[in-house]
Structure 1
Amino acid sequence: MKKQPGHLAYVAWLAFIAALGGFLFGYDTAVISGTIEQVALQFSLDEIGTGWYVGCALVGSIIGVVFAGPLSDRFGRKPVLYTASLLFLSSALGCMLSVSVSQLVIYRIIGGVGIGVASIVSPLYIAEISLPKYRGRLVALYQLAITIGFLAAYLANYGLLGYAEKLTQNEAAQGWYAQIFGTENWRAMLGLESAPALLFFASLFFIPESPRWLILKRKEGQAASILNRILPSDEVNLQIEQVKTVIAEEANGNWKLLLKPGFRLALFIGIALAILGQFMGVNAVLYYGPSIFKQSGLSSGDSLFYQVMVGLVNMLTTVLGLAIIDKVGRKQLVYWGVSGMIITLILIAGYFSFGAQWQVSSVWLLAFFLLYIFACAISICTVIFVLLSEMYPIQLRGAAMSLAGLSLWIGTYLIGQLTPWMLSNLSATGTFLLFAAMCFPYLFIVWKLLPETTGKSLEEIEQFWIESGKKDAEL
């Protein structure tokens, strides 16, 4: 039977709503770059204090990923998404109204918990409601939403900085409005997140629970009702039986399942790729881009404009990655993209070594950064959440993603904390050469250990790991 036209449209609509968690993830992560200098000056922060202001949200993210998976496995994907939306909302309003750096840090941590939860449950939900043929693109929609959030944050920072300069020249502007949007406009940058957070919360009322989770909880009737809107009617019972079959092969579904040979390798691959990806430089650029650009002699306004360009290329390249991921395949994107990252990171390091001596224009630095972001966005950024959402057994999919996500956020936290130190002590040249070196083990793992998952159903991928584990046990 042919698929009814409405099926894909409905699935895309569900994916779009879940991907709003990615938009908030991106905005909350990137907005910090435009506030660092102002907050450090206002609260007299040193290098360690600045690193903590940037990195504290990542502590929250680590907390979020630890609990998000197990909670979603127990209570469902949808209730946990509700929780994430409320965390984002309270963080945005709290940061905007904070009167001390301690309060600001607390609310940044709350927002970080929201990021951690969204980074696990949003792509997991999308993967579980997707059709195999389009799953890569639909899960990559979450990554696209992150990049749109990045760009929105950069545009907000750039626009609000310009507005603040005009507002401070207006003697009639006084009171809380002048403080939030003028003299302390970092408050407006952080507080603007409350609008999409409220939209995310309201939109969640219009999506159902994950049908695969419902089957896991023996609610086949509810699952069938949802699957009838996702799949052709003659495939609904087949889908339910496939899910029940892999559940039966997973036995009790406790944590020991992840230590079986096949799933143990899958867990290792997910954790290794998640943490290595953070040491290849992308978050250093996203968090500290304006500071890095200022090292090349740019003004604050120019450095923020350059960061907007970085965000724009990041978003547009992700659109391209989303369009080709199910055609080219996960592994091919990584091979080409990471190779490009190595070349551009070496070029960036060379600019900081010889740019001033050879009087090279800062436009070349922008070009190298944009090429690096292109290579990164079309490969590891597009692929990572797709892989993490499709590699693990259904009974512990959320918990397994939490373990991989934990390693991702630990790596991100370390980069957030260590980048100022590395730029000061290793120099920009040494920092970017280190990022280039970390690309090689990532390529090796993808080449030697990772199977191609493009076009396969979640149950087929799960069966692959089960069979792989049986073969290893026989050796």
Structure 2
Amino acid sequence: MSVLDRLANAEREHSRFVYVIAAIAALNGLLFGFDVGVISGALLYINESFALSPFLEGVVTSSVLVGAMIGAATGGTLADRFGRRRLTLGGAVVFFVGSFGMALSPTLAWLIGWRVVEGVAVGVASIVGPLLISETAPSDIRGALGFFQQLMITVGILLAYLINYVFAPEFLGIIGWRWMLWFGAVPAAVLALGTYYLPESPRWLIEHDRIDEARTVLSCIRDADDVDEEIEDIREVSEIEEKGDLSDLLEPWVRPALIAGVGLAVIQQVSGINTIIYYAPTILNNIGFGNIASLVGTIGVGIVNVLLTVVAILLVDRVGRRPLLLVGTGGMTVMLGILGLGFFLPGLSGVVGYVTLASMILYVAFYAISLGPVFWLLISEIYPLRIRGTAEGVASVCNWGANFVVALAFLPLINRLGEGPSFWLLGGFCLLAFVFIYSRVPETMGRSLEDIEADLRENAMMGPDSGSVESPAGERSD
């Protein structure tokens, strides 16, 4: 049965509550995406209130990533200790407060400080959403439901682009960037209200010996005949070892998953996506578009991002994670090559300018079916249960750290190298990403989290030459 057929028959195959959980948990991605997108438009106008050099623009943009690293570093441990549901609520509250703080900032220092605070919520959201979805979703549609998080990230980015357009000072005659940043309180409030309907992860409940509560949750999202069997499978895995910590990530049997997760975390950022998301209006400004035209162009980028993420949802449990990653990184390499070439050609405000815009949009399209959603899905699948939150936190810290470096360095890099060579450098990273994915990233499609963990242990017993979590073809190694 195809994924289209499977989703069409979803109500007969799985409880509707599975989809409710995934949809609410994915609202964490909405916060994530909104913050990423809103600063791109706000930067055009913050400079009117606070004089910003290219370096200070990078600091304003990347300051949220300092907070995100803090949130990611602590979020996994907090998720393992306090649960996925309570952490979701806490992150929503922090984001709500941070949005008001940024909007009311009297100085640049206050703005940067509040962006760090909001970044903590973004870092937490990047962990807890995929974690809760992966631990409640049935294995045959876990990929599609896992992509809900990325879909909501793209919706958040598009919403931010629309808000940037609506609050542009050219239309309302106000200090628009403050209203742009304030609006983040709205999705935060929606997530906080949505947590009322969220159950706790049954895997987390079993890990904390709350079996009756786990059975209640599973009875709402599984067939009655499968509940006891799943509880026993989870208990069997959780009883194999004592509670894990950071040192357990260096165990030989966990190391292949650690390398795959951390590698993808860095690759997702050095491939250049956030240079486009953060600085799309600035880039369009540089090739001859006015402020309003630049904001409209970014809305087109946001729409493509959403639509191609929907396509990825339909494909991930049909063609697998690895094929999407390989096609996406290959396409991104080509598009960055074209984008860089455009800056060497004359007449950027004419036909070449629109070709450059088209290559930017296609680059985002390839990202949206690959590195964007698949990274967050895989790091919620490939780690052992007892250290899953902690391990996902480590991967997320690496992701946000790479994001911070790229965001801070991109505009100064352009000033030093020029736009063309800068985008070619990012294209080179995409090519390296293709090689890494081909050699190190496993296929997890259609397999339970317990089976994936069992393969890690089995491969470790077979010796260092046994490969990663699975062989590249998606079958267990020999």
TM-score (norm. length: structure 1): 0.93
* Structure 2 residue identity aligned to 1:30: G
- Equivalent residue in structure 2 for 1:400, among 377, 386, 391: 391
| Partners of 2:440 and 2:189 in 1: CA distance | 42
Moved more, 236-245 or 144-153: 236-245
- Equivalent residue in structure 2 for 1:409, among 387, 394, 400: 400
Deviation at 1:467, TM superposition (A): 0.9
- Equivalent residue in structure 1 for 2:76, among 56, 69, 75: 69
2:420 is matched with 429
Q: Does 1:258 align with 2:249?
A: yes
1:208 is matched with 199
Task: State whether residues 347 and 353 of structure 2, in contact with CA within 8 Å, keep that contact through their aligned partners in structure 1.
Answer: no
2:341 is matched with 350
1:330 is matched with 321
Deviation at 1:473, TM superposition (A): 6.0
- Give CA-to-partner distance per residue, 1:135-185, whole Å, 9 cap, x none: 001010000000000000001101211xx32433xxxxxxxxxxxxx1x11
Q: Does 1:114 align with 2:121?
A: yes
Task: Give RMSD over aligned pairs.
Answer: 1.7
Q: Does 1:103 align with 2:103?
A: no
1:363 is matched with 354
Q: Does 1:16 align with 2:1?
A: no
2:140 is matched with 133
2:6 is matched with none
1:60 is matched with 67
Aligned-partner SS, 1:44:
coil
* Structure 2 residue identity aligned to 1:292: I
* Structure 2 residue identity aligned to 1:50: E
- Give CA-to-partner distance per residue, 1:373-428, whole Å, 9 cap, x none: 11111111121111011011111100000000000000111111011111111111
Aligned-partner SS, 1:451:
coil
- Give CA-to-partner distance per residue, 1:160-212, whole Å, 9 cap, x none: 11xx32433xxxxxxxxxxxxx1x11011000111111111011011111000
Q: Does 1:274 align with 2:265?
A: yes
- Equivalent residue in structure 2 for 1:90, among 91, 97, 110: 97
Q: Does 1:442 align with 2:451?
A: no
* Structure 1 residue identity aligned to 2:115: R
Q: Does 1:231 align with 2:222?
A: yes
Deviation at 1:360, TM superposition (A): 3.7
| Partners of 2:403 and 2:464 in 1: CA distance | 35
TM-score (norm. length: structure 2): 0.93
Moved more, 111-120 or 441-450: 441-450
1:176 is matched with none
Task: State whether residues 287 and 349 of structure 2, in contact with CA within 8 Å, keep that contact through their aligned partners in structure 1.
Answer: no
Q: 1:104 to 1:266 in 2, by over 3 A?
A: same
| Partners of 2:340 and 2:405 in 1: CA distance | 21
- Give CA-to-partner distance per residue, 1:56-111, whole Å, 9 cap, x none: 10100001000000011011111111111001100111111111112111111111
| Partners of 1:72 and 1:209 in 2: CA distance | 11
Please, which runs of 5 or more residues in structure 2 have no aligned partner? 1-8, 467-478
Identity of matched residues, %? 34
Task: State whether residues 7 and 229 of structure 1, in contact with CA within 8 Å, keep that contact through their aligned partners in structure 2.
Answer: no
Matches within 5 A, 1:238-249: 238-249=229-240
Deviation at 1:7, TM superposition (A): 3.7
| Partners of 2:229 and 2:213 in 1: CA distance | 15
1:43 is matched with 50
Matches within 5 A, 1:454-465: 454-465=445-456
Matches within 5 A, 1:143-158: 143-158=150-165
| Partners of 2:243 and 2:165 in 1: CA distance | 53
* Structure 2 residue identity aligned to 1:209: E
Moved more, 250-259 or 144-153: 250-259
Q: 1:241 to 1:327 in 2, by over 3 A?
A: same
Moved more, 441-450 or 59-68: 441-450
Task: State whether residues 289 and 349 of structure 2, in contact with CA within 8 Å, keep that contact through their aligned partners in structure 1.
Answer: no
Task: State whether residues 274 and 384 of structure 1, in contact with CA within 8 Å, keep that contact through their aligned partners in structure 2.
Answer: yes
Please, which runs of 5 or more residues in structure 1 have no aligned partner? 169-181
1:26 is matched with 33
Deviation at 1:37, TM superposition (A): 2.5
Deviation at 1:221, TM superposition (A): 0.8
2:470 is matched with none
Aligned-partner SS, 1:262:
coil
Deviation at 1:248, TM superposition (A): 2.2
| Partners of 1:380 and 1:142 in 2: CA distance | 13
| Partners of 1:3 and 1:35 in 2: CA distance | 41
- Equivalent residue in structure 2 for 1:376, among 360, 363, 367: 367
Task: State whether residues 147 and 377 of structure 2, in contact with CA within 8 Å, keep that contact through their aligned partners in structure 1.
Answer: yes
Runs of 4+ in structure 1 deviating by more than 6 angstroms, as ranges, are none
Task: State whether residues 3 and 232 of structure 1, in contact with CA within 8 Å, keep that contact through their aligned partners in structure 2.
Answer: no
Task: State whether residues 287 and 353 of structure 2, in contact with CA within 8 Å, keep that contact through their aligned partners in structure 1.
Answer: yes
Aligned-partner SS, 2:354:
helix
Moved more, 280-289 or 42-51: 42-51
